[in-house]
A = this chain, B = another copy of it.
Amino acid sequence: MIPFNKPFIVGNELKYIEEAVKSGKISGDGMFTKKCQEFFQNKYNFPKVLMTTSCTDALEMAAILCDIKEGDEIIVPSYTFVSSANAFALRGAKIVFADSYSDNPNINPKEIEKLISEKTKVIVPVHYAGVACDMEAIMNLAKEHNLFVVEDAAQAIDSYYTFSDGTKKALGSIGHFAAFSFHETKNIISGEGGMLVINDERFFERAEIIREKGTNRSAFFRGEVNKYGWVDIGSSFLPSEIISAFLYGQLEHLNEIQTKRIAIWNRYFEGLNDLEKNGFLQLPIIPDFATNNAHMFYVICRNYDERTALIRSLKEKEIHPVFHYLSLNKSDYFLRDNAEINIPNSDHFTDCLLRLPFYFDLSETEQNKVISSINEFFDA
């Protein structure tokens, strides 16, 4: 059986958990959490990183920091994970859905522009498959209308965007905030896990407070206040050291992991290229301003029925591909308070996009089986 995903141990993950226990601290913000935060800050030029229990939680922190109030509007793609919207709905926001490009699941800045109103407060670009949204266009819109930008970078570790002046920046370092995931399906994993990046220094202090259950405990441990107490709303957003120790064991092998994933991605692309040329399916597009972090490999079928048939055919060969999001504008939750709207490109990806098995330990033999099985399906 070739599963869609397989978690992996690559280095000192278990040894570091043992070390954390021996160090006398496995609650949040111990030495491995700090090591992870420093690693990301140094490698990607993030001004401030706070590890969280999930990407969802990082998005919720961003929503609190943006001071979302009942009735504020946020603009997100409809083709995304529920948390991109839910984190803001939890704070009372009205969710406004924008469509993707026709040939790329990322949010289309032209669609965003049409939806901006007096009440808009935040734009949430989601870097689908780790491929950059057009951040220059989005940041320009945000500046013009005085909006916050929260990058949903769940899938976007080790990926970059190049501005028209040639400046190249890591995804997650461009908006006011960014949220990353270390869920088991991501490039670097801790089962569940995430982090919030704060690029705007006005929010450094409040971010720490909100993450520590609304207390100024972080400032206390740095000796900046002489006792700590309840000063704000907040939650327990910090991960166990067990999680951070595991993650740090992976971070030490980030380059090796990325090299391997890029090779897998390229092998899929080459192996399925002829099918695209012959019009059977569409392969991912990497715009000129984006890099490829090899988070995911997907194909876009011509229609829903063909995708269903392809899934069935692969499952018969013990290969497990997985479709992805369902347009959020069609969800029961959204339709409870909102009229039906038409978001065609999102629906197209809902119906036709299919993700192929992709994980660190995927062997060349296994991958060749996936590639030849897809070719055989369309040959038939």
* A-to-B contact residues, CB < 8 Å: 3, 6-9, 14, 17-18, 20-21, 24-28, 53-57, 60, 81-83, 85-87, 89-90, 183-185, 189-193, 213-215, 227, 229-236, 238-243, 246, 326, 328, 330-334
Interface contact A240-B86, CB-CB below 8 Å: no
Interface contact A56-B236, CB-CB below 8 Å: yes
Specify which chain B residues have a CB less than 8 angstroms from the CB of A90 in the assembled complex: 233-235
Interface contact A24-B6, CB-CB below 8 Å: yes
Interface contact A242-B27, CB-CB below 8 Å: no
With beta carbons under 8 angstroms apart, the residue of B20, B185, B234, B332 that contacts A230 is B332
The answer for the CA separation of A215 and B54 in the assembled complex, in Å, is: 16
Closest CB of chain B to A11's CB: distance in Å? 13
6 contacts between A and B (CB under 8 A): A9-B18, A14-B18, A82-B229, A86-B230, A86-B233, A229-B326
The answer for the CA separation of A242 and B231 in the assembled complex, in Å, is: 32
The answer for the CA separation of A70 and B105 in the assembled complex, in Å, is: 37
Specify which chain B residues have a CB less than 8 angstroms from the CB of A56 in the assembled complex: 213, 235-236
Given A235-B90, A332-B229, verify A27-B213 contact (CB < 8 Å): no
Given A14-B18, A229-B326, verify A7-B24 contact (CB < 8 Å): yes
Greatest chain B CB density within 10 A among A21, A25, A191 is at A191
Interface contact B26-A213, CB-CB below 8 Å: no
Given A17-B246, A53-B239, A90-B233, 6 further pairs, Cβ under 8 A: A8-B21, A26-B191, A54-B236, A86-B235, A90-B235, A242-B246
> Could you tell me the dominant secondary structure of chain A's interface residues?
loop
Closest CB of chain B to A252's CB: distance in Å? 17
With beta carbons under 8 angstroms apart, the residue of B190, B235, B333 that contacts A240 is B190
The copy count of this chain in the complex is: 2
Specify which chain B residues have a CB less than 8 angstroms from the CB of A213 in the assembled complex: 56, 81-83, 86
Interface contact A82-B14, CB-CB below 8 Å: no
Interface contact B60-A235, CB-CB below 8 Å: yes
Closest CB of chain B to A200's CB: distance in Å? 23
Interface contact A89-B233, CB-CB below 8 Å: yes
The answer for the CA separation of A82 and B211 in the assembled complex, in Å, is: 13
Given A7-B21, A243-B243, verify A230-B328 contact (CB < 8 Å): yes
The answer for the CA separation of A55 and B7 in the assembled complex, in Å, is: 27
Specify which chain B residues have a CB less than 8 angstroms from the CB of A191 in the assembled complex: 20, 26-28, 240-243
Interface contact A26-B189, CB-CB below 8 Å: yes
Given A213-B56, A331-B230, verify A184-B25 contact (CB < 8 Å): yes
Closest CB of chain B to A7's CB: distance in Å? 5
Specify which chain B residues have a CB less than 8 angstroms from the CB of A331 in the assembled complex: 229-231
Name the residue of chain B whose CB is nearest to the CB of A359.
B24
Specify which chain B residues have a CB less than 8 angstroms from the CB of A82 in the assembled complex: 213-215, 229-230, 234
Name the residue of chain B whose CB is nearest to the CB of A83.
B213
The answer for the CA separation of A86 and B229 in the assembled complex, in Å, is: 12
The answer for the CA separation of A81 and B85 in the assembled complex, in Å, is: 30
Given A54-B236, A213-B86, A229-B332, verify A7-B25 contact (CB < 8 Å): yes
The answer for the CA separation of A39 and B81 in the assembled complex, in Å, is: 32
Specify which chain B residues have a CB less than 8 angstroms from the CB of A8 in the assembled complex: 21
Name the residue of chain B whose CB is nearest to the CB of A246.
B242
Closest CB of chain B to A30's CB: distance in Å? 8
